[in-house]
């Protein structure tokens, strides 16, 4: 026999090995079908065996009881006892005739009447009359009824023995009745085809049910194998916990079925929150409405705690949904910083232009020899900015908030508005969360400056007051105000009357963030009408001071 060879790189030869054929994974359909067929077959065989095992005993018991009943009926005939006592043991005697009549009438195998000595007085075989019985009759002669299956002279039979009593109740003999055991076995064997037919019908019904269930599972699992499904689950777990977007899966009843690590971080959830309703875990709010599908759309903005999130929701076939969350807090913060930076650049550009005008004016005054006028002009120009900064730092001792208000005052001046502090304003340098207060005041001032933009005599007033450990913030403007029926709506995420920012950052988050920050500290945020006809936004922070 020759072996096919191939030549290697150096001219050597090596036997060519046949590549093993890849083993295809057995599909879920075939695996489930085989398992269910095996289970149905095993259950059918077991049930049939469990039914047949006691059936033989039941039939034996019925045969023995029948034999006993026939024997009891024969012994109850008073003539049988009288004939036994008065006639000899002959094949033609009255005892034999009575016994044979009972045997033919009942279909018994034999009816044997014996005396107290164990001598047969009747028997289907006439030659055995007058002989001693083949089995011990002592128990029946002692007055006990006996049921048994035994081998006698006529073969294996179900037997019943009862004592035979005379008119005075004395035992004069016994009656033994037998039913051939072969007839019982025939009944058992005759019942097997019917049982097998029922078992076959049950097996066929089980096979059909297994096929239908397997087909349904095949459609639901897209004809994948168990190994494929296990691999997909492992890949899904790895993917969910490695991506930097939050993923939340909900079922048709709105319960949380799955959250990855990023979603737990963004929403403040734990592993114990799974299998709980979304409304119960997050509470009422826009975030819950977005995830539950009560607010529809793409790239929906919501505020959760101090985070700005972008949510998208995709329904699933089973009535649930999968939602993704992206953290835009830093992006929103950078966008606001960009807005502030652009405002400062515009302010600096305007100041540079104003500064150039001041220098030109000063140069002209000096060339004209108007030195006193030049000195007064310089003093006036420099004193305006100095006065504003001094007024703010005298009343606001927190450096971060003071710097914010000084910068906002310069921006307001370049936008044609006046930003002032209330005469009664005062804030010590004992803030628990200065960053949070800066965010609140900054958003309220920006909102007020936007409201008074383009209006004559535009003015924004900031009031900061301390009551114990509480801090009250009020920002008033001379803008158009907020209608009474929309004063709660302005604190909703995404609500805004302004156009989108140049850098594409979302609008309608500033006031919502203000309320969230206030509520996080146990405070409140609301809006009312200002005395001058504009709007007054007020925030109460009950535990803002150390």
Domains of the chain: 30-187 (3.30.450.20), 243-327 (3.30.450.20), 382-541 (3.30.565.10)
Task: Quick: pLDDT tens for 352-362.
Answer: 666 677 677 77
Position 333 pLDDT exceeds 80: no
pLDDT at residue 173 in the model: 92
Position 174 pLDDT exceeds 90: yes
Position 15 pLDDT exceeds 60: no
Is the CA virtual torsion 483, 486, 491, 497 positive or negative?
negative
pLDDT at residue 161 in the model: 92
Position 22 pLDDT exceeds 60: no
Indicate whether this model's pTM tops 0.75.
Answer: no
Position 221 pLDDT exceeds 80: no
Position 280 pLDDT exceeds 80: yes
Average pLDDT over residues 420-433: 86
Element (H, E) at 251: none
Position 6 pLDDT exceeds 70: no
Average pLDDT over residues 495-512: 56
Choice among 132-141, 170-179, 182-191, 324-333 with the minimum mean pLDDT? 182-191
Number of Cβ within a 10 Å radius of residue 376? 12
Q: Which of 47-51, 455-459, 465-469, 472-476 has the highest mean pLDDT?
A: 472-476
pLDDT at residue 472 in the model: 93
Position 317 pLDDT exceeds 60: yes
Dihedral of CA atoms 399, 403, 409, 415 in degrees, nearest 10, equals -160
pLDDT at residue 463 in the model: 93
pLDDT at residue 14 in the model: 45
Task: Quick: pLDDT tens for 132-157.
Answer: 888 888 898 888 999 887 765 556 67
Position 506 pLDDT exceeds 50: no
Residues in CB range of 215: below 8 A, 6 or more apart: 29
Choice among 137-146, 237-246, 307-316, 332-341 with the minimum mean pLDDT? 332-341
Residues in CB range of 109: below 8 A, 6 or more apart: 103, 124, 154, 157, 178, 179, 180
Position 183 pLDDT exceeds 60: no
Tell me the C-alpha distance between 410 and 404, whole Å: 10
Choice among 20-24, 292-296, 425-429 with the minimum mean pLDDT? 20-24
Position 209 pLDDT exceeds 60: yes
Burial bucket for residue 88 (CB in 10 Å: 0-12, 13-18, 19+): exposed
Position 192 pLDDT exceeds 50: yes
Residue-averaged pLDDT of the chain: 77
Torsions phi, psi of 133, nearest 5? -65, 155
DSSP 72-137: HHHHT-HHHHHHHHHS-S-TTSHHHHHHHHHHHHHT-SEEEEEETT-BBS--SSGGGTTSBPSS--
Average pLDDT over residues 231-255: 77
Average pLDDT over residues 303-317: 80
Tell me the C-alpha distance between 321 and 296, whole Å: 13
Position 162 pLDDT exceeds 90: yes
Q: What's the half-sphere exposure (Cβ side, CA atoms, 13 Å) at 507?
A: 12
Max Cα distance, the chain (Å): 179
Tell me the C-alpha distance between 103 and 90, whole Å: 18
Choice among 30-44, 63-77, 307-321, 408-422 with the minimum mean pLDDT? 30-44
pLDDT at residue 538 in the model: 93
Residues in CB range of 2: below 8 A, 6 or more apart: none
């Amino acid at each position: 026999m020759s072996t096919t060879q191939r030549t290697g790189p150096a001219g050597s030869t090596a036997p060519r090995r046949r590549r093993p054929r890849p083993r295809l994974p057995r599909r879920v359909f075939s695996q489930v079908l085989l398992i269910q067929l095996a289970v149905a077959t095993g259950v059918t065989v077991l049930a049939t065996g469990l039914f047949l095992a006691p059936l033989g005993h039941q039939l034996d018991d019925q045969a023995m009881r029948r034999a006993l009943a026939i024997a009891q009926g024969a012994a109850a005939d008073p003539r049988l006892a009288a004939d036994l006592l008065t006639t000899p043991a002959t094949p033609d005697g009255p005892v034999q005739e009575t016994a044979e009549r009972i045997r033919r009438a009942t279909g018994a195998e034999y009816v044997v009447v014996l005396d107290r000595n164990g001598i047969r007085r009747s028997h289907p075989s006439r030659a055995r009359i007058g002989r001693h019985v083949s089995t011990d009759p002592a128990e029946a002669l002692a007055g006990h009824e006996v049921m048994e299956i035994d081998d006698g002279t006529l073969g294996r039979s179900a037997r019943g023995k009862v004592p035979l009593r005379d008119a005075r109740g004395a035992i004069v003999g016994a009656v033994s009745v037998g039913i051939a055991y072969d007839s019982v076995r025939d009944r058992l064997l005759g019942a097997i085809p019917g049982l097998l037919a029922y078992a076959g019908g049950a097996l066929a019904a089980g096979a059909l049910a297994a096929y239908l269930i397997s087909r349904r599972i095949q459609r639901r699992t897209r004809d994948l194998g168990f190994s494929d499904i296990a691999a997909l689950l492992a890949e899904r777990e790895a993917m969910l916990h490695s991506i930097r977007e939050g993923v939340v899966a909900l079922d048709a009843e709105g319960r949380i079925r799955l959250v990855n690590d990023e979603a737990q971080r963004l929403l403040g959830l734990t592993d114990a929150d799974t299998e709980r309703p979304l409304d119960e875990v997050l509470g009422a709010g826009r975030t819950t409405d977005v995830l539950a599908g009560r607010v529809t759309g793409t790239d929906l903005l919501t505020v959760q705690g101090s985070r700005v999130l972008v949510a998208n929701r995709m329904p699933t076939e089973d009535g649930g949904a999968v939602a993704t969350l992206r953290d835009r807090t830093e992006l929103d913060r950078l966008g606001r910083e960009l807005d502030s930076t652009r405002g400062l650049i515009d302010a600096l550009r305007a100041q540079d232009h104003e500064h150039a005008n001041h220098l030109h004016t000063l140069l002209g005054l000096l060339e004209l020899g108007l030195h006193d006028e030049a000195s007064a002009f310089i003093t006036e120009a420099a004193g305006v900015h100095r006065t504003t900064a001094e007024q703010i730092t005298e009343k606001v001792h927190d450096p971060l908030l003071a710097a914010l208000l000084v910068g906002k005052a310069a921006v307001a001046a370049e936008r044609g508005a006046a930003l002032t502090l209330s005469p009664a304003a005062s804030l010590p340098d004992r803030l628990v969360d200065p960053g949070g207060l800066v965010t609140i005041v900054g958003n309220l001032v920006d909102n007020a400056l936007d409201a008074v933009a383009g209006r004559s005599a535009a003015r924004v007033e900031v009031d900061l007051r301390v009551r114990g450990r509480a801090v009250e913030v009020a920002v008033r403007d001379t803008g158009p105000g907020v209608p009474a029926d929309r004063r709660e709506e302005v604190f909703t995420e995404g609500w805004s009357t302004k156009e989108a920012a140049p850098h594409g950052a979302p609008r309608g988050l500033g006031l919502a963030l203000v309320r969230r920050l206030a509520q996080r500290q146990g405070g409140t945020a609301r809006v009312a009408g200002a005395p001058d006809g504009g709007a007054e936004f007020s925030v109460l922070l009950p535990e803002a001071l150390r």
